[in-house]
Amino acid sequence: MSNVKKEDFDVKGFYGEDCVLDAEEFKKKYKVSDKGISSSKAAENIKNLGLNQIKQSKPKKWYNYFFASLFSPFNSILLGISFILIYTDIILPEHPSPANIIVIAVLIIVSTLLEFIEEFRSNNAAQKLKELVETTATVIRDGKKKKIPLKEVTLGDTVILSAGDMIPADIRLIESKDLYVGQSSITGESDAVRKLTNTEIKSIDDIESITDLDTICFMGTNVISGSAKAIVIKTGDNTYFGKVARTLTQGKPKTSFQKGIESISKLLIRFMIVLIPIIFILNAWKHNTILAFTFAVAIAITITPLLLPVILSSCLSKGAVRMSKKKTIVKKLDSIQNFGAMNILCTDKTGTLTEDKIVLEKYLDVYGNEDIRVLKHAFLNSYFQTGLKGSIDEAVINRALKSELGSLVDEFKKVDEIPFDFSRRRLSVIVENNNEKLLITKGAVEEILSICNTIDYNHELMPITKEVKENIRNIANKLNEEGLRVVAVCQKKNINNIDVFSVKDESQMSLVGFIGFLDPPKESAKLAIEKLNNSGIRVIVLTGDNAAVTKCICKKVNINTKKIVTGSQIDKLADVGVLRLLKKSNVFVKLSPIQKARIVRLLKESGNIVGYMGDGINDAPSLTNSDVGVSVDTAVDIAKETADIILLEKDLNVLLDGVTERKTYFCKSYEIYKNGCKL
């Protein structure tokens, strides 16, 4: 979207006043409430304003498909030939003969109808399949939270946002906590943008561009981290996304399949342009001009592959329907060929190679001894955080409830939160008990160590010396080697004087201990990877997890772990150096979303057809960069929206079935074409 030509747009007129108004003043002016609107009011708004859809993204009408089929490249050639025949067979001769024109007209009609029927039917099927994994938004209706499809979001709705959510419409924030939004699709900004409840802009005159609007989020962008509550101010074509969509000059890049068909078509047309005049000239010497011209036109008809577009669209649509029976939903028909042609599959570890049923196995103090106090701290952090609750949080909560720690919820009251983000790799909550505030943080071991200056052992604080730090790392590494994923937990007291908390308060903390999670490898993963390799598909693991845990899992599923590359190594190398590593290694660890996307890009540029399988917020850039993005129906909204293909189960065997189905079906289709449609 950053490559579009944007029309003149009055940013101040559209958003200026809403942006600079205080949140409370905004609610008073528009008479809106953070308790949401009623269902009847929402229905009335939808009736008056229409669904929350962009014109360009709405399903096409039947006539769009019909005219596209009628004026396809090959049909256009036949139409041109028909006009010539009207002159040569009807106007010039004494005894007009419409036979040739009738034959060509029948061919055009049959070709058009066949292609139209298949295209219309296949796109309808794809639309129905897409609706099975429709993206939703959380709104407050009738005073209650509920999930609704994005298209049903309407003016005045109160939207609840957390990490991973798509922004469903243009919205004005009325509450926010460390909210960062990815809006590269709108503005081209690669970094996440901070959004606020009340603006830092001094006056409306200081607004120069869309990037200055710090209290407004735009449809089509997504939440990177933080949480918020907002009011919908514009929907559908009235949004900034809708305005920009009208001036799109670039569509989706053509797939290798489309390029191949296009090159064949151009070759045939060039062949006709060269051959037909030669045939006409050679025959004009021996026969009359009209007869020679008619013969040349007949040759043009003969070498035009009339049914090629029909066969292609038929194969794609039927392939999509057959793949859906294999629990593989095709969102974009053109991606089917790449899906079957891919020779490299990049995938995350969690949930794909592992069961994604994380269980909290250990809670240890700073010396590696079991300590229920560590579990208590982790439980308070996981229970009270309001962001995107992952499998780790669920595992902590489940284990704490089994250990009868549920009463802690009544003893403590949540004060504030510092949400998770992918740069800090940690999350903090501030709770209060007996008028004493306590900041509890959990996150990756190295990131937690970087903000701690003491350890808390048996309620006694001791400084973190070089020896202590080394011992902590050894404990974490030992747990990793056992296949456990390790998260560190720390705390900070004496913070009663702080009213509003931020990332800067995550400092000078005390390390309490570790929690270790076990996510065993799937029994089916080893065989699935073996079959993928036998099918000519190389599996590369790209994960944000550490080397020890990843190595343990990859060994169990028979992925070569002799050479493991870290994200920090990649950052130090030019593209050529990274490509050399890609030839030798199948496992890349401690990767950021940008590093994952870079690897996918380099694999593509080196001539591979690259598939990427992911389901998280951090997978969105890689899903976009790949030739075919694969996600699952349980993925976060941004991942589902970005993917080309959705699996109804997060299992490599389901993906393998889809690839095999595509290869088998298209091989049969090719044989039919080769044997039944010879020129």
Q: What is the pLDDT of residues 212-264, one digit of tens each?
A: 888 999 988 888 778 899 999 999 888 887 776 555 434 445 566 656 666 77
Contacts of 339 (CB under 8 A, 6+ apart): 330, 611, 628, 630, 644, 645, 658, 659, 662
Q: 110, 11 in Cβ contact below 8 A?
A: no
* Distance from C-alpha of 322 to C-alpha of 318, rounded to nearest angstrom: 6
pLDDT band of 311, cuts 50, 70, 90: low
Q: For residues 73 and 475, which has the higher predicted lDDT (pLDDT)?
A: 475
The pTM score is 0.59
In order, the DSSP letters of 87-112 are IIIIISSSS---HHHHHHHHHHHHHH
pLDDT at 1 over 50: no
Asked if 22 is an active-site residue, the reply is no
* Distance from C-alpha of 324 to C-alpha of 319, rounded to nearest angstrom: 9
pLDDT band of 491, cuts 50, 70, 90: very high
pLDDT for 387 equals 63
pLDDT at 132 over 60: no
pLDDT for 348 equals 82
pLDDT band of 31, cuts 50, 70, 90: confident
The kind and range of the H/E element at 76 are helix 73-85
Q: For residues 670 and 379, which has the higher predicted lDDT (pLDDT)?
A: 379
Residue 308 identity: L
Apex CA 137: angle with CA 136 and CA 142, to 5°?
120
* Distance from C-alpha of 679 to C-alpha of 670, rounded to nearest angstrom: 15
pLDDT in tens, 314-367: 666 666 677 767 777 777 666 777 787 888 999 887 767 777 678 898 999 999
* Distance from C-alpha of 531 to C-alpha of 104, rounded to nearest angstrom: 49
Contacts of 166 (CB under 8 A, 6+ apart): 135, 137, 150, 220, 221, 222, 223, 637, 638, 641
Q: 123, 321 in Cβ contact below 8 A?
A: no
Tokens (6 digits) for 276? 């037909």
Question: Which one from 178, 348, 365, 615 is the annotated catalytic residue?
Answer: 348
pLDDT at 393 over 60: yes
